[in-house]
Amino acid sequence: MITMSSATSSSNSHADSRFRLPLSALLALAFAGFLTLLTETIPAGMLTQISTGLAVSEAFAGQFVTLYAIGTVLTAIPLISMTRAWPRRHLLLAALTGLLLFNSITALTSNYELALVSRFFAGVAGGVMWGMLAGYARRMVPEHLKGRALAIAGLGSPLALSLGVPLGAWLSQSIGWRFTFAAISLLTIIAIVWVLWRLPNYAGQSTQDKPVSIAMVLANPSLRMVFYVLILWILAHNILYTYIVPYLSPMGLAAQADVVLLIFGVASIAGVWLSGIFIDRMLGRLVFLNLLLFAIAMLCFATLQAQPMLILIAVAIWGLSLGAAPVLLQTACAEAAGAHADVAQSMLVTVWNLALAVGGIVGGVLLQKVGAYSFPWAMLGLLALALVLVQLSKHYAFIKAVNATD
């Protein structure tokens, strides 16, 4: 005999299986994420033009990137915690409006100090946006499609990472750096209209809920394991990515650095696509597989430096791994954090940026003290530790995949 509850469950399951992904809404989130990360990375491609326009050195112009990162790192966690009760679309629109305002100020000002202040607050807006995008995307779909939805909403990240610097270099030569920031502002207006048109609004958490502290969220061992793996993965990546040109120079590939980065970017997009197909069924295995692919690529980098074509293949494998990393780690973070997902995502953004910064520092020290050839070996050590942690995490992180496949 079929009970009413089992009939209802069957009906819900059938409805879920026929659910169509809200592609337009998810792509609106992807576009917002793209603009956020583009705002962060694009100055690196036009430092000469910025330094000339503001009458400062290129080193000072480089602080456009630094101040944005500082704004994100310092404010993402407290602001996401403070705005938990805000309706989600209102918060996203506030972040996009902040991005629009501060990019516009950067485009118009001739005052270097004001430009830096604008970059800091653009980073604040970016941190808020990245802290909420994953939770927003996952709320739009049933349980069995949450990973795929996040993969679509995360498409903006690899696109901005691969296009940001070369796009900045090209646009600054074509229309100037001020008009480049103005163009981003124009695109942000389009994003605001798109969000208003297509995105559903969701309530924030009740103001009567107990405030969520960092210590409370970090008490979750599953979440800590995700952060440990994230630190090792992204730190290893940025050791090489920051200093890719010095590494390529002995192989005669420095002049083709733009081609190398293009291969990396295209492979990153492929990594997002592939992870979106399989993530809801095998999260843990995908994390392990992508870390293993990254390690294999670094082994090629370490031992095949006399074979430039094989190095380019290794670059593609590296890009495939890194492209999958954000969606895999964000999904694992959301799965582990549960009701505290937005606060946990803001912590993930902060940890991610700190890992990037530390990777750049470690890479610089290795370059000065040992040489660029040491990068792959140092990265292999970090990746080996990350692989061990994933294998040990069966009772902590990546629980969903373990239960489904073990």
The answer to whether the CB of 396 falls within 8 A of the CB of 287 is: no
Q: How many CA atoms lie within 13 A of 169 on its CB side?
A: 7
CB 187 within 8 A of CB 35: yes
Give the three-class secondary structure for 283: helix
| Per-residue pLDDT, 313 | 93
Report the amino acid identity of residue 185.
Answer: S
pLDDT for position 2: 40
The neighbour count for residue 184, using CB atoms within 10 Å, is 21
Nearest to 33 by CA among 87, 99, 107: 99
Measured CA angle at 269 (ends 257, 152), to 5 deg: 150
**CA–CA dist 194, 191 (Å, integer):** 5
What is the C-alpha to C-alpha distance for residues 398 and 287, in angstroms, rounded to an integer?
Answer: 9
Q: What token pair was written down for 178?
A: 């001020």
User: Which DSSP helix (H) or strand (E) runs through 262?
Assistant: helix 257-278
CATH class in words for 216-405 = mainly alpha
Task: Give the per-residue pLDDT at 266.
Answer: 85
Question: What b/e sequence results for 126-143 when a residue is b if at least 16 CB atoms lie within 10 Å of its CB, and e otherwise?
Answer: bbbbbbbbbbbbbebbee
The pLDDT tens digits of the residues spanning 332-352 come to: 887 887 777 777 888 888 888
The full DSSP string for 85-136 is: TS-HHHHHHHHHHHHHHHHHHHHH---HHHHHHHHHHHHHHHHHHHHHHHHH
Dist. CA 366–CA 378, nearest whole Å: 9
The whole-number pLDDT of residue 349 equals 82
Which residues of the chain have a pLDDT value below 70?
1-19, 162, 165, 205-213, 394-406
Whether the domain at 22-198 and the domain at 216-405 fall into the same CATH topology: yes
Q: Does domain 22-198 have CATH number 1.20.1250.20?
A: yes
Structure tokens belonging to residue 146:
């949450």
Domain limits, the chain: 22-198, 216-405
pLDDT at 212: 62
* Angle between helices 221-241 and 308-337 in degrees, nearest 10: 160
Instruction: Summarize pLDDT for 374-405 with one digit per residue, the tens.
Output: 889 999 999 999 999 888 876 455 554 333 33
